[in-house]
Structure 1
Amino acid sequence: MTDFHYSVDSDGVATITWDIQGKSMNVLSMEGLAELEAHIDTALSDEAVKGVIITSAKADFAGGMDLNVIARMKEMAGDQPEKGLFDGIMSMHRCLRKIERAGMDPKTLKGGKPVVAALPGTALGIGLEIPLACHRIIAAENPKAKIGLPEIMVGIFPGAGGTTRLARKLGAMGAAPFLLEGKLSDPKKAKSAGLIDEVVPADDLMTRAKEWVLGAKDADLVKPWDAKGYKMPGGAPYHPAGFMTFVGASAMINGKTQGVYPAAKALLSAVYEGAQVPFDTALKIEARWFVHVLMNPSSGAMIRSLFINKEALEKGANRPQVADEKVRKLGVLGAGMMGAGIAYVAANAGIDVVLIDAQQAAAEKGKGYAEGVLDKGIKRGKLSEAKKAEVLGRITPTTDYDALASCDLVIEAVFEDPKVKAEVTTKAETVLPDDAIFATNTSTLPISDLAKASARPGQFIGIHFFSPVDKMLLVEIIKGRETGDRAVAKALDFVRQIRKTPIVVNDARFFYANRCIIPYLNEGMRMVREGVAPALVENAAKLMGMPLGPLQLVDETSLDLGAKIAKATRVAMGDSYADGDVDEVVFWMVEQGRLGRKSAAGFYTYDDKGKRQGLWQGIADKFPKSDDQPDLITVQHRLMFAQALEAVRALEEGVLEDIREGDVGAILGWGFAPWSGGPFSWLDMLGPEFAVSVCDDLEARFGARFSAPELLRQMAKTGRGFYANRESAAA
C-alpha cells in the first residue's frame, strides 16, 4: 500500500498524487515522506519529465503530520531521543529542499524542473509546508477549505521549514498571525495574504497547474531567499525596522503566553536567529529549536491531550459497543440561553429541532438566537443567506409537546429546579416514542435524582453543555445509576454530530468540570478574605497559563449564582461543608449589589459598555490587604492544586473513568493551563513524590482541602505517574 502515486503524461508532466487509503484526510508519515522523496528523485532524474505537479486525490490536500510519528522518533532513538528527532526533522528538510532546488545548478540557478502544488482543499501544517517548498501554489476555489500552519495550537511550531520559509516570504510581521496564532484562511484570503499564489475554479485546477509547469522559466523557480541580494521583507533583526519588529514580537509573545508556552518563544528564536544566516543554516536552526520544543514535557503533554486524546474521544474511544445512534430529530425543552444555543448547534449540524417553551414568544425568541448567530456569520462572509434560511428552517418553535412525537432525543434545558424538571420530563415522555432518549442539561443537580421522574431511567442521561454553547467545545455526558449503554451511545453520537468533544463521567455532585473549577474560584476568594492582594491572586493564575484569574471568572459566571450554589451545597453537605469563609466573601459582594459582569460591578469595575476596567478597590474596605503578602509560588500552588487534587479525587471515586477525559475536559471545559496538558499531565510533570510533598506543605499551612489523595500517595511510593500506570494497564 502506498501513500503517493506517480504518473507521467504524454507532455512530460509528472503528477505525484497523495492518497492514503482508508483515511479521509492525508497525513504525512515517515514512510510517506520516503515515498515522496523517491518520486521526486525519479522525476528529477528522468530527462523526459519537464516538471511536476504535487496534488491530492482527496477533496483536501492534507491535514498535517501524523503526530504519533514524533513519539515513534523518540522511541526509535533509544537513549538519544534528541538525535533521533533532529535526524528525522532534517530528513524532511532534505526532501523539501530537493523539491525547492529541483535539480537546478547551484551556481547559475538554472536547469531546474518546475514543481507546482495543486491544492483541491484544506492544506494544514506539513500540508502547507510541502507547497511552500514548491515553486508555485495554486488552490481551487473552495470557501470551506482552510489553509495555514496551526501547529502552535498543540504546543509545537511548524518545524519542516514552514517557519523559516514563511518568515522569509512574508517577513516576520506578515508571518506572525499564521505562525504565532495559527491563523487559518480560505484560499482567497490566503492568496491575499501571500501564503499562496493563485486561486482558480476547482475544475480548472489541474489544467492551470500543468499550464504553469509547461510555461515556467528558470527565474520562476528561484526562491527569493536563494537569489543574490535577498532582503527579508520588513527588515532583518539588524535592520532598524526589523529590530523594532522583533522587539515588538517578543513583547507580544510574552504578553499573550506569560512565558509558559515554550513553542511560541522557540518559534520566535528560530525566526530571529535564522534571519541572520544563509537559508540552509536557518533550516538547521529551525530544526534545533523544534527538537528543543519536542523535548519539553509541555509539548508532549499538549500533543497528547489536544491532538491524540482529543481525537480519540471524538472518534468514540469510550463508546459502548451498540448500534449506530445517530440523532434524526431533536427536541429541546426550554428556549432560554442554553436551550436556544443547543437548538442552534443541532440545526447547524443538519438535525431537525423542535424548540419548546411555555410561551410561543419565548420559543420564537429562542429561534431568534440562532438567527443572530447566523447573521454574524453572514456579516463576516462565512455563510450565505441560503445557508441561513436552511438552518433556521430546521428549527420549529412551539409550545405543543405533541411535536415531540417523532423525536429520538430530547434535551431539557429549563430552570435548575427539580420540580420544574420533573414536570417537563413527565410531559415529554407522555408523547415520546418508547425508544427515545431523554437528557437533562443540568449543571449541578444529580442525574440519578432527576431520573426518578422518568418512567424509563435506563434511557435517562445528562448532557451538560457549557456556555455559550456555540463556542464552547466540550460536552460533559453524565451517566446516572440506571443509565443504559444505548443512552450513552446516543449522547456520544449526538455530540459527534454537532462536532464537539465529549467526556463521559459518572453521576456525582457537580459532576467533573464544575467539581474541579469551583475549588479554583473558592481558593481565589478565600485568599482575598485572608488579605492576599487581589492583583496577586489574578496574576499568579495567569502566569500559570490560566486564561482567567479566579476573581474574573467569578465575575463572568456571576456572584449571585455562586451564592445560590453555596446555599444548596451547604444544605446537601451539612456539617461537612467547609467553605463558610468563602461564603462570607460571596454573600457580602451580593449584598453590595456587585453580582459580576452582568451587573457591571463585581470584583472588577466596568464601563458603560460592560468593558472591564480594573479590580475594584472597594474590596479592601471589607477585606484589607495584609502587610505580609505570600510569595508567588505559594499562591500558584494553592490555585493549581485546588483544581488538580479535585480531579484526582474524581478519578479515585470513579466519577472520572479515564484520565484522558480528565485532561481534555479540563482544558476545553474551563481552560486548565493548556500548556500543561491538563491536571493529570501536570501532576505527572511534577512527579508524584514532589506533588505529595507540596500537598503536605499546603495541608499543614492552609488546611485539609490540600490533603494528598491516597491514589497520589501510592503513586509517590512507586514513582510512576498517571500515564505510565495507564500504559502499563493497557499493555
Structure 2
Amino acid sequence: MTPPAEAAAAADASPIHWHRGADGIVTLTMDAPGRSANTVDAAFVTALTAVADRLEGERDTVRGIVLTSAKETFVAGGDLDELIAAGPEDARQVFDFSMALKRALRRIETLGMPVVAAVNGTALGGGLELALACHHRIVLDGPGTRLGLPEVTLGLLPGGGGVVRTVRMLGIADALQHVLLEGARHTPAHAHALGLVHHVATSPEEMLGAARAHIDAHPRSRQPWDEDGYRIPGGTPGTRSLDAVLPSFAAHLARRTGGAPLPAPRNILAAAVEGAQVDFEGAQVIESRYFTELVVGQTAKNMTQAFFFDRRTVDSGAARPQDEPPHRVRRVGVVGAGMMGAGIAYVCARAGIEVVLQDVSRAAASRGRAHCERLVAAAVARGRADEAEAAALPARITATDAVDDLAGCDVVIEAVFEDTALKHQVLAAVERVVGEDALLCTNTSTLPVSGLAEAVTRPGDFLGLHFFSPVHRMQLVEIVRGERTGERALARAFDLVRQLGRTPIVVNDGRGFFTSRVMARFLQEGVAMLGEGVAPASVEQAAARAGYPTGPLALLDELTLTLPLRIRAEERAAAEAAGEEWVPHPADAVLASMVEEHGRTGRAGGAGFYAYDEDGARAGLWPGLAEAWPPGGVGRPMAELTERLLLVQALESIRLLEEGVLTSVADANVGSLLGIGFPPWTGGVLQYVNGHPGGPAEVAARAAAWADRLGPRFAPPAMLLEKAASGQLFGDVRHRPVGATPVTG
C-alpha cells in the first residue's frame, strides 16, 4: 500500500487533480506542474487513464464530472516538442499514444453520467478535443479566448478524436469547411454559433454554476452519436445530397494546394470521409492512422518548426533589445494617404491608437480615411469586427493636409512614393514639427534606411518599418535597423508592431533588406525561365506546384514591370559607385524588352505578361510571349523548375546571413512565410534547406549543379558549404531546428 505522504506527492505531481464535493460532483482540474500551460503529452495521457480507472471504480459515488483548468488557458494543445521529435521509426509509438488518449476519453464519455467541460480559457487542438469528448461545453468569454482545431496550419490533423467528433456533431461538410480544413481559431461567440459549445458564460461563477446546473438537470448523459438511430447531419458518403457536395471539397483542395506537397488537408478529408462510413471506434483508428502518417513525415516538422517554434521565438522578442523598458504608443502620424499609408492608418486605428493621416491635400487624406472606413465595414460583414468598432474607428483618424498637425505624435511613419529625394523632403519636414522624443520611421521596401536617415538630425531615432500590401491582411512587419539606429528606437518599433497585433522581424540595413531582395530572386528566376524558352504557362505552373500563392509573371504584372527595372538601375549605379563588378541577370533583357519594345508595363498599364479585359481582370497570358520568346522544343521537368524557384531564394537568404543583413534563422523563416509567400510546407527559406532530403549537403550539391548550368547566382555560399561539411543545420542558439528525415531504401 502506498504511504499517505507518497500518495499526496504523486497527486501533486499529476497534471490532473481530483476533487469530489459533498454533492457527488467530481471536479477534474488540469494543472500541469511547472508549466505555464496544460498540454496533452505522455504524462497527461497517463493521468487521464488513471482518472478513467478511478471513475469506473467509484462510479457509484460520482454524480457528474466537471473538467476545467487551473491555468489561464484551458489546454494549449498537444506537446509539439514530443511530436516534432518523432521519426518514421516512432510510428507505432505515435499511433499508440493517439489511441491511448482516445481510449481514456471514450471511457469517460461512455460512463453514463454527465461530463461537462468548463472551458475557462483558450482551447486549441487537443484542448478542444478534450472538450468535445464532454457531453456539455461551457466557455468563459474573454477578449483573447479562442477555440479551434488549428492542426492543419502545422501540417497535422487532430489526433485525439477531433475529426471523428466534429464530423458526427456538425456533419462532414460543415466540419471540413468551418473547423478542420482552415484551422480557424474561433471566438467564444462564433464557436457557439457553429455548435462547438453550448453556452458562453460571462464570469467564472456563471460558468461553474451552469456546469453544476447541467449535471442536476441531466443525471444520465450520452453523446448524440451513441444514441440508437443517430445519423450524421447531412448524411454519409452515398447520400445524394452529400455526394453532390464532396467533389467541391476535393476541387477546393486542388486549388488551394496547386499541387504543392501539403498532405495534411488531404489526410483530413480522407479521415473525415472514411470515418463517416464506419462505426465510432473504427473512425478513431482511421483518424490515428492518418495522424501518424503526418506526425512522422517531414512536412509537419517543417511547418511546426516555423509556424510554432520560430514564430514563438520572433513574437516573444528575441530580437528586441532586452534592457529597454516596454513602450506603448498613443498617437501615430502617417504621411502619405495612398493604399499603403491608408492601410497603415487602418491597422493602427484598429489597435485603438489615435492616427493623424497627412497628405499633400485634404482631399487625398480624406480618400485615405474613407478607405479605412470601407475596410472596417468589410470586417464587420465578415464577422471580424462589430458595429461599435466600425463606428469608433473613423473617429480615431484625423485626415489633414497640414504637416503641423503631426505635432504630438509618438511615432510618425512616412509612406510616400519610393523616391529618395521625396522621402528626404518629407522626413525633414516631419522632424521639424514633432517632439524630440518621437520615433521616426520610413515604410520603404527597397531604399537603404541609412541613406534616408541623412534627412534627419536624429538618426538614432530613425528606422525602417516595412509593412506589406495589403496591410490589413499581411501579418508581417520588417523592422530595418539603419547604421545609426539606437537600441531604444528598435525596442519602441518592436513594441509598436506587437501593439498592432503584427509579427515583427528585425533585419539590418541593405538595399532591398531581406524580404524585397529575396522576393526579387523569385521574380527574376521566373522571367529568366521565360527567356530560356520555358513556356510561360509552365513557369506559372511551377510556382503553383511549389506552393507559391502567385506565379512570378502574374506577380510582376501586379507590381509593374518598370519597378524591377528601376531597382536594377539603382543597384547597378550603387555597385559601380562602390567599384564593384556589375553582373547582369538573364531576366533584365526580358523585362527591358517587355517595357521598351512591346510597351507592356503590367496590370496598371492594361498590358503585361498577361492580357487584361476592360475591367482590369486577367484574360490569360499574352499570346505575344510565344512569339517574342519561343518555347524550346524539349520541355523541362516540372520538378526542376520548382526546385529552381525555391533554391534561388534559399541561397540568397544564406548570403544575407553571411552579410549580416539577417541575424536570425527564425526571422528568415517567419519573414519568408508571412511576408513574401514562400511555400508553407517548406517551413521557410532556411528550414527548406534543413528539411531537404539529405539536408544542407544535398542542397549544396544541387546548387553547384545548377551553377554549372545557369551561372553564379546558384553558386553555393560559403556558409552553406560549411554546414554541408560539418553536418550542421541552420538554426539559432535559442531554439532547436529540425532536420531532414533520413532517406532510406
Aligned to 2:742: none
How far the C-alpha of 1:344 sits from its partner, in A, is 1.4
**Superposed CA offset, 1:332-356 (max 9, x none):** 2222222221121112112222222
* Separation in 1, partners of 2:114, 2:139: 17
Say yes or no: does 1:115 pair with 2:115. Answer: yes
- Contact 1:353–1:394 (CA<8 Å) still a contact in 2? yes
Partner of 1:12: 24
* Alpha-carbon distance between aligned partners in 2 of 1:154 and 1:480, rounded to the nearest angstrom: 34
Q: What is the deviation of 1:163?
A: 1.1
Aligned position for 2:109: 100
**Deviation per residue, 1:653-705 (Å, 9 max, x gap):** 11111111111111111111110101111111222222122112211111111
**Structure 1 residues 21, 463: closer, same or farther in 2, change over 3 A?**
farther
Contact 2:331 2:411 in 1 (8 A): yes
The 3 A distance-change label for structure 1 pair 398 and 251 is closer
In structure 2, what is the equivalent of residue 376 of structure 1? 378
Return closer, same or farther for 1:624/1:696 CA change in 2, 3 Å cut-off. Answer: same
Q: What is the percent sequence identity of the aligned residues?
A: 41
The alpha carbon displacement at 1:235 in A equals: 4.5
**1:215 aligns to 2:217 (yes or no):** yes
Unaligned runs of 5+ in 1: 104-111
1:29 to partner: Cα distance: 4.4
Deviation string 1:419-444 (CA, Å, 9 cap, x unpaired) is 22222222222233333321111111
Greater mean deviation of Cα atoms: 579-588 or 172-181: 579-588
Displacement of 1:71 in angstroms is 3.7
Describe the shift of the 1:92–1:624 C-alpha distance in structure 2 as closer, same or farther (beyond 3 A). Answer: same
Correspondence for 2:704 among 696, 708, 719: 696
Query: Amino acid of the residue matched to residue 595 of structure 2?
Result: V
For the structure 1 residues 136 and 728, does the alpha-carbon distance in structure 2 shift closer, same or farther, using more than 3 Å as the test?
Answer: closer
Q: Residue 117 of structure 2 contacts residue 136 of structure 2 at CA under 8 Å; is this kept in 1?
A: yes
- Contact residue 63 and residue 219 of structure 2 kept, 8 A: no
Residue in structure 2 matched with residue 423 of structure 1 by the alignment: 425
Select between 57-66 and 157-166 the one with higher mean Cα deviation: 57-66
Report the 3-state secondary structure (helix = DSSP H, G, I; strand = E; otherwise coil) of the residue aligned with 1:11: coil
Contact 2:335 2:341 in 1 (8 A): yes
Supply the distance in 1 between the matched residues of 2:189 and 2:568 (Cα, whole angstroms): 52
Q: Supply the distance in 1 between the matched residues of 2:141 and 2:460 (Cα, whole angstroms).
A: 49
Cα offset, 1:162, TM superposition:
0.2
Confirm or deny that 1:639 pairs with 2:645: yes
Q: 1:586 aligns to what?
A: 591
- Give the count of matched residue pairs: 715
User: 1:261 is matched with which residue?
Assistant: 262
Question: Aligned residue for 1:81?
Answer: 90
| Corresponding position: 1:47 with 2:49 | no
What amino acid does structure 2 have at the position aligned with 1:81? D
DSSP 3-state at the match of 1:266:
helix
Q: Which stretch shows the higher mean deviation, 419-428 or 569-578? A: 569-578
Give the match for residue 173 of structure 2.
Answer: 173
State the one-letter code of the partner of 1:657.
T
User: Mean Cα displacement is larger for which, 18-27 or 173-182?
Assistant: 18-27
Which residue of 664, 679, 696 corresponds with 1:658?
A: 664
Aligned residue for 2:504, secondary structure, equals strand
Give 2:271's aligned residue: 270
- Pick aligned residue for 2:83 from 59, 70, 75: 70
- CA drift of 1:555 comes to 1.7
Task: Give the drift of 1:476.
Answer: 0.6
- Please identify, of 133-142 and 618-627, the stretch whose mean Cα deviation from structure 2 is larger: 133-142
Of 624, 627, 631, which aligns to 1:621? Answer: 627
Tell me how far 1:295 sits from its aligned partner. 1.1
CA shift for structure 1 position 365 = 2.2
1:316 positional shift: 0.4
Partner in structure 1 of residue 343 of structure 2: 341
Match for residue 575 of structure 2?
573
> Where does residue 302 of structure 2 map in the other structure?
301
For 2:520, the equivalent position in structure 1 comes to 518
Alpha-carbon shift at residue 327 of structure 1 (Å): 2.2
Contact 1:25 1:60 in 2 (8 A): yes
* 1: CA distance, partners of 2:482 / 2:721: 30
Over 3 Å counting, the alpha-carbon distance change for 1:267 and 1:728 in structure 2 is: closer
Alignment of 1:329-368 (within 5 A): 329-368=331-370
Say which is worse superposed, 308-317 or 46-55, in terms of deviation.
Answer: 46-55
Q: After TM superposition, list the pairs within 5 Å mapping 1:538-617 onto structure 2.
A: 538-574=540-576, 576-579=581-584, 581-591=586-596, 592-617=598-623
Q: Please tell me whether the aligned partners of residues 172 and 245 of structure 1 are also in contact (alpha carbons under 8 angstroms).
A: no
Structure 1 residues 222 and 636: CA distance shift in structure 2, 3 A = closer
CA RMSD of aligned residues (A): 3.0
Tell me how far apart the structure 1 counterparts of residues 105 and 308 of structure 2 sit (CA, whole Å).
25
Change (3 A) 1:209 1:156: same
TM-score (norm 2): 0.88
CA distance in 1, matches of 2:245, 2:113: 36
Partners of 2:229 and 2:427 in 1: how far apart? 74
The amino acid that maps onto 1:684 is N
2:407 to 387, 405, 412: 405
d(CA) in 2 for partners of 1:729, 1:27: 21
SS in structure 2 opposite 1:688?
A: helix
Q: What SS does the aligned partner of 2:407 have? A: helix
1:557-606 deviation digits (Å, cap 9, x = unpaired): 22232332233223223474434542332233334443333344322233
Is this contact kept in 2: 1:143–1:187, CA < 8 A?
no
User: How far apart are residue 228 of structure 1 and its match?
Assistant: 4.8
1:52, 1:115 within 8 Å by CA — same for their partners in 2? yes
Could you report, residue by residue, the CA deviation over 1:187-207 in whole angstroms, capped at 9, with x for unpaired residues? 454444443345566674433
Cα distance in 1, alignment partners of residues 129 and 261 from structure 2? 26
Return closer, same or farther for 1:698/1:126 CA change in 2, 3 Å cut-off: same
The CA distance in 1 between the partners of 2:216 and 2:159, in whole Å, is 31
In structure 2, the CA distance between the partners of 1:644 and 1:39, relative to structure 1 (3 Å rule), is: same
Q: In structure 1, the residue corresponding to 2:137 is in which secondary structure?
A: strand
| Structure 1 stretch displaced more, 80-89 or 134-143 | 134-143
Amino acid in structure 1 at the alignment position of 2:538: L
**Contact 1:333 / 1:355 at 8 angstroms: preserved in 2?**
yes
Q: Tell me the residue number matched to 2:497.
A: 495
Deviation, 1:145, is 5.0
- After TM superposition, the structure 1 = structure 2 runs for residues 177-192 of structure 1, keeping only pairs within 5 Å, are 177=177, 178-192=179-193
Aligned pair in 2 of structure 1 residues 143, 614: CA closer, same or farther (>3 Å)?
farther
Which residue number corresponds to residue 159 of structure 1? 159
Instruction: Output the CA distance in 2 between the equivalents of 1:448 and 1:22.
Output: 46
Corresponding residue of 1:106? none
Which residue of the partner structure matches residue 5 of structure 2? none
CA distance in 1, matches of 2:378, 2:732: 46
Secondary structure, in 3 states, of the residue corresponding to 2:384?
coil
Aligned-partner Cα distance in 2 for 1:536–1:561:
24
Report deviation, 1:129: 0.8
- Kept in 1, the 8 Å contact 2:547–2:680? The answer is yes
Counting only pairs closer than 5 Å after superposition, residues 711-730 of structure 1 correspond to structure 2 as: 711-723=719-731
Structure 2 residue 648 is the aligned partner of structure 1 residue 648? no
**Which is worse superposed, 113-122 or 546-555?**
113-122
Q: From the superposition, tell whether residues 19 and 689 of structure 1 become closer, same or farther in structure 2 (CA, over 3 Å).
A: closer
Q: Does 1:684 align with 2:685?
A: no
Tell me how far apart the structure 2 counterparts of residues 340 and 560 of structure 1 sit (CA, whole Å).
24
Q: What is the one-letter code of the residue matched to 2:66?
A: I
- Does residue 91 in structure 1 map to residue 105 in structure 2? no
CA distance in 1 between partners of 2:37 and 2:377 (Å): 31
Q: Secondary structure at the match of 1:221?
A: coil
CA distance in 2, matches of 1:430, 1:540: 51
Is the Cα contact below 8 Å between 2:345 and 2:355 reproduced in 1? yes
Say if 1:124 and 1:520 are closer, same or farther in 2 by CA, change over 3 A.
Answer: same
Task: Report how far residue 539 of structure 1 moved.
Answer: 0.6
Matched with 1:107 is none
Moved more, 35-44 or 62-71: 35-44
**Retained in 2: the 8 A contact 1:14–1:43?**
no
The letter of the residue matching 1:53 is V
- In the TM superposition, what is the alpha-carbon distance from 1:496 to its structure 2 partner? 0.6
d(CA) in 2 for partners of 1:48, 1:651: 64
Judged with a 3 Å threshold, the aligned counterparts in structure 2 of structure 1 residues 143 and 382 are, in CA distance, closer, same or farther, namely farther
| 1:659-674 correspondence to structure 2 within 5 Å | 659-674=665-680
